Structure 1
Amino acid sequence: MSTLGIIGCGFVADLYARALAVMPGLRVAAVYDRDAARLRTFCEHWSLPAVDSLDALLAALPADGIVLNLTNPDAHFEINRACLIAGRHVYSEKPLAMRMEQARSLHALAAERGLMLSSAPCSVLGEAAQTLGHALRHGIAGTPRLIYAELDDGFVPQAAYARWRSESGAPWPAEDEFHVGCTLEHAGYYLGWLIAWFGSVRRVVAASAEVIPDKPGSNGTPDFSTATLFFENGPVTRLTCSIAAPHDHRIRIVGDNGVLSCDAAWDNAAKVRFARRLTLRRRLMEHPFPRRIRLPRPTHPHVKRWGAAAMNFLLGPQEMLDALSERRPCRLSNDFALHMTEVTLAIQNAGEAGAQDMTTRCAPMEPMPWAQ
């Protein structure tokens, strides 16, 4: 039985807790939140053991356990650092830290202590991302030439977010979400896929802006960003994030032979399709009835849809625990977490500044065994 400790019982924590039902090999040793009432409500709802301090949680974890840092983003650096100093492997909700110098210091500390430091999101380990990766490796669309990735969530400030509650009753943290911004919160969902397939981004050419002012807690935080990513060994990619444009979570990979696509970044079981290119009566077009691409074998445990997401949030922690027990490198490596953080921060902080060369590097990710 593999062991987890959970720090933070807010909105996102329920998405991790509900995945426990399909991951029977995982055990939660302890849960802590500085808000005692929220801690009690969460633990009673999920029948999990509560402790009254961070020190107590760290003491409850064995050396091969994993800390899940699900706190508010402004606390990520402090909590991640404390856990690493205590000699614990850490899986952090995104972002790893709010500033790049903080992320670098965490990466250095983890290396010094011989610890794993992984960052959400883990949807890169899910069926949809792995199916697209399989299609790329097997040349189904031919050589990839251009990628468009969209993470637009609709005009969120006009949504009924004051009534959004998690399963155990935690409110959606609107002020935190608007203060941190949709790029830091969401870009990783496709950045993780792209870095896994192609490795390092060498240059980011981006712009970001606040297009909807006066949101609670926003303080000028960008609610729109667009970036052109230049990989060391991959196709040019355009990634857009917003909480203004109509909902669109598509990714389209344009190859010599046609287009691979997926419509739902937040659904592990989202359909992956290929539309071959053809000429009909002198008109060049993609086939109007794309075929679905499927993997040849069973994949991973799936979680039923709740709200906007149908993702197994424990695929990342499980990968870390498997890497520990099998004494192999973790797919969600320390370098992966640091590089994704640098790219994300470059997009978030771009403003009207233009290009930025990346200083970190990350190798492409080994596919899951069922997606070879």
Structure 2
Amino acid sequence: MGDPHGIGIVGTGYICGAYLEVLATSPEVRIAAVADLDVARAEAVAAGLPGTRALPVGGLLADPEVRTVLNLTIPSAHAEIALAAIANGKQVYGEKPLAAELGPAREIVDRAATAGLLVGCAPDTVLGTGTQTARQAIDAGLIGRPLAASAVMVTAGHERWHPNPDFYYVAGGGPLLDMGPYYLSALVQLLGPVRAVVGAAGRLRSERVIGSGPRAGERIPVEVDTHVSGVLEHASGVLSTLTTSFDGVRTTAQPIEVHGEAGTIAVPDPNRFDGDVRVFEAGATDWRALPPSAGYAGAGRGIGLLDLVAATADRPPRAGGDLALHVLDAMTGLLRSAAEGRRIELSTTVERPAPVPLSQN
């Protein structure tokens, strides 16, 4: 089996704990080092992980025990850390989006390819039994030829629960770049790549109020659009409609529905790994639930990194950089379409990742 694969984590904030629930107990990897601009926070995380060192960011990126860097920094720092890791000969798996802008994201993928290094990126939730079971059913022809789909994410905004939500409302944030990767990654898994987009966007509030933590009551500025809608033209001809919003309280819409000639599949929240997949077939009188038939069962955040570590030349990472780049291309295309008032053809495409057989994490 060999030694566990050495992981170095840059960024030990809110999301780090979710990753550690999976990675700290996996025999395939070892958390060799952690780093954070808040040194005390990094030291506290390292203290809870036997054999893990708290290092400066530069030291972690150069450390020979670190083979893959898990990049959990804020979106505006994603590209800087990823490119530095690649320059140090490290593979990279990062939080979404791959970068705040398309140009640096493309540079990450290109430089990694030149160096012969792998790149992966969240979300890996779409590798769980929810999205994968829906994909298996669609591929098996359960609803016939897919014709259209819808994806809806509506929330009042992350400042309600996040103690430091500033980055959600500056460049690289907003509902589309923050939550859109879940929905777009799922739609590509289900229906294949996107060739063009049309979008509309807006913001009706110039500031938000932090609702929890030591900064509760503090007002923060809003510098990005907080409601984005659009139409995705898939290469297959399927049309998907997408809504992502920080401006609603709640919605009755299904997170994702795929409509085919012979039925409709309701796909669970792609921000979760599992959930009920339901189908309403032509001629039926009600929805019926499908048992899990594909995906990593019992998975948590970090399964995409483990999938990357296990990748081979014949089976690339399922949450790979090429998929993340294509998803970012679609999202920035929607924002550009909204700003320019025109249809935008994407500059990237991607192969659907290999499906995940039903397996226990």
**TM-score, reference length from structure 2:** 0.87
Is residue 330 from structure 1 mapped to residue 317 from structure 2 by the alignment?
Answer: yes
Give runs of aligned pairs for residues 237-248 of structure 1, distance below 5 A.
237-248=240-251
Cα distance, 1:327–1:137 mapped onto 2, change above 3 Å: closer
The CA distance in 2 between the partners of 1:228 and 1:361, in whole Å, is: 17
Is residue 212 from structure 1 mapped to residue 205 from structure 2 by the alignment?
Answer: yes
Aligned to 2:189: 196
The CA distance in 1 between the partners of 2:350 and 2:259, in whole Å, is: 24
Aligned to 1:308: none
- How far the C-alpha of 1:327 sits from its partner, in A, is 6.3
Contact 1:117 1:337 (8 Å CA) reproduced: no
- Aligned residue for 1:323, secondary structure, equals coil
Aligned to 2:141: 139
Contact 1:22 1:302 (8 Å CA) reproduced: no
The partner residue of 1:118 within 116, 120, 123 is 120
- How far the C-alpha of 1:226 sits from its partner, in A, is 0.6
Contact 1:29 1:61 (8 Å CA) reproduced: no
Aligned to 1:183: 176
Cα distance, 1:237–1:61 mapped onto 2, change above 3 Å: farther
Aligned to 2:356: 368
Aligned to 2:60: 57
- How far the C-alpha of 1:234 sits from its partner, in A, is 4.6
The partner residue of 1:2 within 2, 5, 11 is 5
Give runs of aligned pairs for residues 6-85 of structure 1, distance below 5 A.
6-20=9-23, 23-45=26-48, 49-62=52-65, 65-85=67-87
Amino acid in structure 1 at the alignment position of 2:240: T
Summarize deviations over 1:209-251 as a string: whole Å, max 9, x none: 1133222544430111011000111510001100122334611
Give runs of aligned pairs for residues 157-176 of structure 1, distance below 5 A.
160-161=160-161, 164=162, 171=163, 173-176=164-167
Aligned to 1:265: 270
Is residue 321 from structure 1 mapped to residue 305 from structure 2 by the alignment?
Answer: no
Q: Moved runs in structure 1, 4+ residues, more than 6 A?
A: none
Q: How many residues align?
A: 341
Aligned to 2:291: 294
Contact 1:7 1:69 (8 Å CA) reproduced: yes
The CA distance in 1 between the partners of 2:25 and 2:54, in whole Å, is: 25
Question: Bigger CA drift: 141-150 or 196-205?
Answer: 196-205
Amino acid in structure 1 at the alignment position of 2:157: V
- Aligned residue for 2:15, secondary structure, equals helix
**TM-score, reference length from structure 1:** 0.85
Amino acid in structure 2 at the alignment position of 1:300: Y
- Aligned residue for 2:153, secondary structure, equals strand
Cα distance, 1:265–1:336 mapped onto 2, change above 3 Å: closer
- How far the C-alpha of 1:105 sits from its partner, in A, is 1.6
- How far the C-alpha of 1:43 sits from its partner, in A, is 2.8
Q: Give % identity.
A: 27
Amino acid in structure 2 at the alignment position of 1:178: Y
Q: Give unmatched runs, 5+ long, in structure 2.
A: 209-218
Contact 1:206 1:226 (8 Å CA) reproduced: yes
Aligned to 1:359: 347
- Aligned residue for 1:351, secondary structure, equals helix
The CA distance in 2 between the partners of 1:188 and 1:359, in whole Å, is: 17
The CA distance in 1 between the partners of 2:141 and 2:305, in whole Å, is: 31
- How far the C-alpha of 1:331 sits from its partner, in A, is 2.2
Cα distance, 1:67–1:361 mapped onto 2, change above 3 Å: same
- How far the C-alpha of 1:269 sits from its partner, in A, is 1.6
Contact 1:181 1:218 (8 Å CA) reproduced: no
